[in-house]
A and B are shown apart, each in its own frame.
With several copies, the nearest count.
Chain A
Amino acid sequence: QDKMLVPLISKGFQHQFWQAVKAGADKAGAELGVTVTFEGPDNETQVDKQMDMLAAALANKPVAIGFAALDSQAAIPLLRQAQEAKIPVIAFDSGVDSDIPVALASTDNVAAAALAADKMAELIGDAGKVAVVAHDQTSRTGVDRRDGFVNRMKEAHSGIEVVAIEYGGGDHLKSTEITKALLAAHPDLKGIFGTNEGSAIGVVNGVRELGSKGITIVGYDSGKAQTDAIREGLMAGAITQNPVGIGYETVKAAVAAAKGEAVSANIDTGFYWYDKSNIDAPEIAAVLYE
């Protein structure tokens, strides 16, 4: 009767990042002639809410499902249910501890954050104090980006000390206040890493409100405020993933799996460092979103 249904259960939907994933998914949906729905909980702690969403999505008898797991194990019983109903599952953004998903479309957040660490080190001359304003203490992305950054500093940049890690929930205003407190606590701070869009903008804001000079800010993800800050020179640069690509590849793999075609198990959608110098380069501009 209707078009094929491919629901995507993500980790959120309100943030720019997820909206970009959705845009990519919608694009693939239009090209491939399938109906794509996109949904996620309000924040990345709500593991059981996500399961209720997954359950509701399964009730609609989709041909395939895209799933960005908040917890690597919690959803396994439901995924088994999908498997029994012969609904292929494509994992995106974060995988699960199970071989049920036929593919994973994601960014290597650890490696991406390590790149941010390298860039930060380069910018501050491989010595001094830095801090992290992270968006979450427990979610996969929050932990990976924090650890990727901190561990890289420990391993490769012994002159740099990560003096503080605070969590602002990705809330712009909270991250702003955190940044101001960090700068008060560590007047000699040389750099701050914000682990997602809200955190990064918060850092920029805090620095701007205090009028501090000489703080190197490295961000993550894009969005207009972040690209503006980079153009203005307030932010040194940022890591961007390819969220549009993640959404696009997820739906494409889902449709292929539904049709019984082979899909590659690992779809790495990549990440990029962008700053003032390459922000307008076509390959970067293609993965940035506003």
Chain B
Amino acid sequence: MSERGKVMSIKETRRGGAQQKLWAFASLIVLVAGFSLASPNFFQVSNIMAILQATSVNGVLAVGVTLIIITGGIDLSIGTLMTFCAVMTGVVLTWAGMPLLLGVLTSIATGALCGLISGTFVAKMKIPPFIATLGMMLMLKGLSLIVTGTKPIYFNDTPGFSEIAQGSLIGRIVPAFPVPNGVLILFIVSAAVAWILGRTVLGRYTFALGSNEEAVRLSGVNTDAWKMAIYALAGGICGIAGLLIASRLNSAQPALGLGYELEAIAAVVIGGTSLAGGRGTILGTLIGALIMSVLTNGLRVMSVAPEWQTVVTGAIIVAAVYADQLRRGRAG
């Protein structure tokens, strides 16, 4: 009987876990419902698509940085790295006139390489992640300006480039549901990273590093190498974000990117991932990113004055996380 009691309550715990995500999701639903009631223009296919499209870049960045945050690190360079990847794509595609695929690979490779460098700073040179990636952020910001000569690079000569984010494969099949490719890519990246985190050795070490790096090292794991791999992977994902933003803007804007890191990290934390490392989910990050863009879009559609938008956004972010906290408190 006592055994049965145990099994039952384990199931309950599991259910509790699922509920937790459901609850974060609930904040999102409440927001969507509220805005839909407040403005008839909010819950329209085209506006929902606009929200999803607005989530794509920040979402991909957030998914990438989730990996690093789970290791207990932080990456401030993601915004400018995204830009630098876009710039390098522009160099390859527009200036050198290479084929599209090569541009795509360049962006991802550039991201991975820069991520690897940050990872080396952190793992080998033992520079705190905050400083290592702050340095990286500044260097990449400057390099983007230097490479481009401070002028945007346009992708007018690469047919199909703007399709990467703006086309809609799904829309071609289901015309009523013209989900932009950017969003599709976000979901594919999320699914892939969620799979990596949940099922692979890399994912397991990501959590383990954040949980207790020294214990992992003393288990004979080459923690430095794994950490570098994780930073490189996150960098590669920033490369994908770089493609998305370049495709959306049909250009590589060299001055863009600063401030995007904060937004992405905010999405991650709203999604329940702890900055202390060791825990986090990609689903949470996605929900966090969606909460942010629903909020921004909804307040705009409601024509709230911009200064009040900022105030309300701040208040709702705090409230959403507090609601989550309350629920957790009740469960625990």
Direct contact of A and B (CB under 8 A): yes
Q: Which residues of A are at the interface with B, using a C-beta cutoff of 8 A?
A: 7, 13-16, 19, 35, 37-40, 42, 45-48, 51-53, 55-61, 71, 73-74, 76-77, 136-139, 143, 163-167, 171-173, 176-178, 180-182, 184-187, 198, 201, 205, 209-210, 223-225, 228, 290
> In the complex, are the beta carbons of A224 and B256 less than 8 A apart?
no
B41 partner, pick from A14, A77, A184, beta carbons under 8 A: A184
Contact at B47–A56, with CB atoms within 8 Å? yes
Does B227 belong to the interface (CB within 8 Å)?
A: no
- CB distance B162 to A77 under 8 Å? yes
B249 CB-CB contact with A under 8 Å: yes
Q: With A52-B54, A224-B154 known to touch, is A173 a contact of B249 (CB < 8 Å)?
A: yes
Does B135 reach chain A (CB closer than 8 Å)? no
B19 within 8 A of A: no
A290 near B166 with CB under 8 A, answer no
CB contact list, B230-288 vs A, under 8 A: 245, 248-251, 253-259
Residue of B with least CB distance to A70? B253
- Least Cβ–Cβ distance between B298 and chain A, in angstroms: 8
B253 contact from A74, A178, A185, Cβ within 8 A: A74
Q: Nearest B residue to A16 by beta-carbon distance? A: B151
B303 touches A164 (CB 8 A): yes
Q: Which of B151-200 contact A (CB under 8 A)?
A: 151-152, 154, 156, 162, 166, 180
Please tell me which one of the listed residues A74, A177, A186 contacts residue B50 in the complex, with CB atoms under 8 A apart: A177
Are the C-beta atoms of A59 and B258 separated by less than 8 Å? no
**Interface positions of B from 44 to 103, Cβ below 8 Å from A:** 44, 46-47, 50, 53-54, 57
B150 at the A interface (CB under 8 A): yes
Known contacts being A14-B150, A52-B54, A180-B50, is A172 close to B249, with CB within 8 Å? Answer: yes
Report which of A138, A210, A225 forms a contact with B254, defined as CB distance below 8 A: A138
Contacts of A76 in B (CB 8 A): 250
- A residues less than 8 Å from B50 (CB atoms): 52, 55-56, 58-59, 177, 180-181, 184, 209-210
Selected contact of B145 from candidates A16, A137, A172, CB within 8 Å: A137
What distance in Å separates the Cβ of A207 from its nearest Cβ neighbour in chain B? 12
* Cα separation A164 to B309 with both chains bound (whole Å): 13
| Contact between chains at B251 and A176 (CB < 8 Å) | no
Contacts of B303 in A (CB 8 A): 7, 35, 37, 60, 163-164, 185
For chain B, the bracket of interface size reads 35 or more
16 new A-B contacts, CB < 8 A, other than A184-B50, A186-B41, A209-B50, are A13-B306, A14-B145, A16-B150, A45-B253, A48-B57, A55-B47, A61-B41, A73-B154, A163-B303, A172-B249, A177-B293, A180-B54, A184-B42, A185-B303, A225-B250, A290-B151
Contact A74–B249 (Cβ < 8 Å): yes
Scan residues 127-163 of chain B and give those whose CB is less than 8 A from a CB of chain A.
145, 150-152, 154, 156, 162
Partner of A47, one of B156, B256, B259, B293: B256
Across the two chains, which residue of chain B brings its CB closest to A210?
Answer: B46
CA distance A2 to B110 in the complex (A): 41
Given A167-B306, A184-B50: A59 and B44 interface contact (C-beta under 8 Å): yes
Q: Which residues of B contact A205 (CB under 8 A)?
A: 248-250
Q: Whole-angstrom distance from the CB of B137 to the nearest CB of chain A?
A: 12
Q: List 23 A-B contacts (CB under 8 A).
A: A40-B306, A45-B255, A45-B257, A47-B256, A48-B57, A52-B296, A53-B300, A56-B301, A136-B255, A137-B150, A138-B254, A143-B150, A165-B306, A172-B253, A172-B256, A177-B54, A177-B293, A177-B296, A184-B42, A184-B46, A185-B41, A185-B303, A205-B250
Closest CB pairs A-B (n = 3): A14-B255, A181-B300, A56-B300
Cβ contacts under 8 Å, A56 to chain B: 47, 50, 297, 300-301
A181 to B211, CA, bound (A): 41
B3 within 8 A of A: no
Q: From the candidates A55, A58, A139, A172, name the one contacting B53 in the complex (CB within 8 A).
A: A55
Q: Is the CB of B39 within 8 A of A48?
A: no
Q: How far is the CA of A137 from the CA of B47 in the complex (A)?
A: 25
A51 engages B249 (CB within 8 Å) = yes
Contact A55 B54 (CB under 8 A): yes
Whether A187 contacts B249 by the Cβ 8 Å rule is no
* Cβ–Cβ contact A77 & B166, under 8 A: yes
Which residues in B have their C-beta under 8 angstroms from that of A185? Answer: 39, 41, 300-303
- Could you tell me if B248 and A51 are in contact, using CB atoms closer than 8 angstroms? yes
Query: How far is B168's CA from A70's CA once the two chains are assembled, in angstroms?
Result: 26
The smallest beta-carbon distance between A161 and chain B, in angstroms, is 13
Mark interface residues in B294-320 (1 if CB within 8 Å of A CB, else 0).
001100111100110000000000000
Residues of B close to A165: CB separation below 8 A: 306
- Is there an interface contact between A184 and B154, defined as CB atoms closer than 8 Å? no
Least distance between A26 CB and chain B CB atoms (Å): 12
Assess whether A47 is in contact with B249, with CB atoms less than 8 Å apart: yes
B306 touches A39 (CB 8 A): yes
Known contacts: A47-B256, A52-B54. The answer to whether A225 contacts B297 by CB under 8 A is: no
**A19–B248 Cα gap in the complex (Å)?**
24
**Contact across chains for A48 and B248 when beta carbons are under 8 A apart:** yes
Q: How far is the CA of A59 from the CA of B298 in the complex (A)?
A: 10
- State whether B152 touches A224 (Cβ < 8 A): yes
Q: How far is the CA of A77 from the CA of B167 in the complex (A)?
A: 11
Q: When chains A and B are docked, how far (Å) is the Cα of A36 from the Cα of B99?
A: 40
Least CB separation from A137: chain B residue: B150
